[in-house]
Amino acid sequence: MTSTEKEPASRTLAFAWVIGAYVVAIGVVFGVGWALGSQHPLVVAGGADLAGTLVIFVFAVIFDNSSFRVDRGY
């Protein structure tokens, strides 16, 4: 198997991680929005946005790559 044959699998894995990260972020955004629901709308929006951004940032730090590429050197 050549490196070009392995690339689609690693690419699929990378996309799965990106999708997973955004699913987690959306869940956190809705959770924070619900928790802050009684606050001013700008506080709710700001808190939810900050929380979602932090989730994506954590995934970027974990993968040491802001584009979430799982690069195995193929």
Give the model confidence (pLDDT) of 9-48 as tens digits. 788 888 898 899 999 999 999 999 999 999 999 999 999 9
What is the pTM (predicted TM-score) of this model? 0.76
Name residues whose C-beta falls within 8 Å of residue 30's C-beta, 6 or more positions apart in sequence: 48
Which amino acid does the sequence have at 8? P
List, in order, residues 6 or more apart from 74 with CB less than 8 Å away.
Answer: 3, 4, 6, 7, 10
pLDDT value of position 25: 94
Torsion angle defined by CA atoms of residues 7, 13, 14 and 20, in that order, rounded to the nearest 10 degrees? 170
Q: What is the pLDDT of residue 74?
A: 44
